[in-house]
């Protein structure tokens, strides 16, 4: 029974969890090309996507081309104990822009190629009591990492001037 639950064949999860974490973000440089700023852009128009391996773990799409945070490493510690799991975890992420060409670009010099560099880090500890599979424990940690990375990205870009974000291309939304 334990093997079936831990491998995900049997989905039985009944637990309480407690986690604490701290995150740190270093945004080293953000540069833009010489395109003209667009009008009526606000910090809340920012889109954020968080990726880990081949999975999109978080996606908040608004008007602007997304900031993409790629989780480069995720260390979860030992989470195989059946009824009581405790582990320290850490993750490192790299932010970047989703390079989308400017609408109606007439030449390669019209393509929007902003640069964003930095590093996002999170460390923490999780304690899980009860029936919780290894897979569910990993998902809990991933959720905490994603929540922190998205919050750090929003915090940074909320502190910049709206004129700064106006150089990001807008996303063309499908007709509703």
Question: Cα–chain-centroid distance for residue 47?
Answer: 11
- Are residues 95 and 69 in contact, defined by beta-carbon separation less than 8 angstroms? yes
Percent of the chain with pLDDT over 70: 66
End-to-end Cα spacing for the chain: 48
Q: What does the pLDDT average to over 158-163?
A: 72
pLDDT the model gives residue 172: 57
How many residues does the structure list for the chain?
Answer: 176
Q: What is the pLDDT of residues 99-141, one digit of tens each?
A: 544 444 455 555 555 667 889 999 999 999 998 888 889 999 9
What band does 158 get if pLDDT is binned at 50, 70 and 90?
A: confident
For the entire predicted model, the pTM comes to: 0.76
Q: Kindly report the CA angle at 10 between 9 and 13, in degrees rounded to 5?
A: 130
Q: What is the pLDDT of residues 56-102, one digit of tens each?
A: 999 998 887 788 999 999 999 888 887 888 999 999 999 887 654 44
Is 36 or 127 the better-scoring residue by pLDDT?
Answer: 127
What band does 160 get if pLDDT is binned at 50, 70 and 90?
A: confident
What band does 171 get if pLDDT is binned at 50, 70 and 90?
A: low
- Are residues 49 and 56 in contact, defined by beta-carbon separation less than 8 angstroms? yes
- Measured between alpha carbons, how far is 139 from 69 in angstroms, rounded to an integer? 18
Domain ranges of the chain: 2-101+110-165
pLDDT the model gives residue 101: 46
Taking the CA atoms of 30, 49, 15 and 3 in sequence, report the sign of the dihedral they define.
Answer: negative
80 phi/psi in degrees, rounded to 5: -100, -10
Is 64 or 42 the better-scoring residue by pLDDT?
Answer: 64
């Amino acid at each position: 029974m334990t093997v079936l639950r831990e491998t995900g064949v049997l989905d039985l999860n009944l637990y309480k969890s407690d986690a604490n974490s701290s995150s740190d973000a270093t945004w080293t440089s953000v540069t833009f090309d010489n395109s003209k700023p667009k009008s009526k852009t606000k910090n809340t128009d920012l889109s954020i996507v968080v990726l880990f391996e081949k999975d999109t773990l978080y996606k908040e799409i608004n008007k602007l081309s997304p900031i993409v945070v790629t989780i480069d490493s995720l260390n979860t510690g030992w989470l195989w104990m059946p009824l009581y799991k405790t582990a320290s975890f850490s993750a490192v992420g790299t932010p970047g822009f989703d390079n989308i060409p400017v609408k109606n670009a007439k030449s390669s010099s019209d393509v929007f190629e902003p640069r964003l560099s930095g590093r996002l880090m999170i460390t923490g500890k999780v304690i899980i009591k009860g029936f919780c599979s290894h897979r569910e424990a990993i998902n809990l940690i991933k959720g905490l990492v994603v929540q922190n990375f998205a919050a750090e990205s929003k915090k940074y870009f909320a502190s910049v001037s709206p004129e700064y974000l106006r150089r990001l291309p807008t996303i063309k939304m499908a007709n509703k």
